[in-house]
Amino acid sequence: GAGVSQSPSNKVTEKGKDVELRCDPISGHTALYWYRQSLGQGLEFLIYFQGNSAPDKSGLPSDRFSAERTGGSVSTLTIQRTQQEDSAVYLCASSPRARGTSDTQYFGPGTRLTVL
Partner 1 sequence: SQQGEEDPQALSIQEGENATMNCSYKTSINNLQWYRQNSGRGLVHLILIRSNEREKHSGRLRVTLDTSKKSSSLLITASRAADTASYFCATAETSGSRLTFGEGTQLTVNP
50 binds partner 1 (CB under 8 A): yes
From 7, 13, 37, 87, residue interacting with partner 1 (rule: CB under 8 A): 37
How many whole angstroms separate alpha carbon 38 and alpha carbon 110? 12
From the CA atom positions of the chain, what is the Rg in Å? 14
Binding to partner 1 in span 52-71, by CB under 8 A: 56, 59
Quote the least distance from Cβ 85 to partner 1, whole Å. 17
Give φ, ψ of 86 to 5 degrees.
-80, -10
What character string, x for contact with partner 1 (CB under 8 A) and - otherwise, covers 87-116? Answer: --x-x-x-x-x----xxxxxxxxx-x----
Residue spans of beta strands (DSSP E) within the chain: 5-7, 10-13, 19-24, 31-37, 43-50, 65-69, 75-79, 88-95, 106-107, 111-115
Nearest to 50 by CA among 29, 26, 74, 24: 29
Contact code string over 17-36 relative to partner 1, x by CB under 8 A: --------------x-x-x-
Q: Residues in the site for partner 1, rule: CB under 8 A?
A: 31, 33, 35, 37, 39, 41-45, 48, 50, 56, 59, 89, 91, 93, 95, 97, 102-110, 112
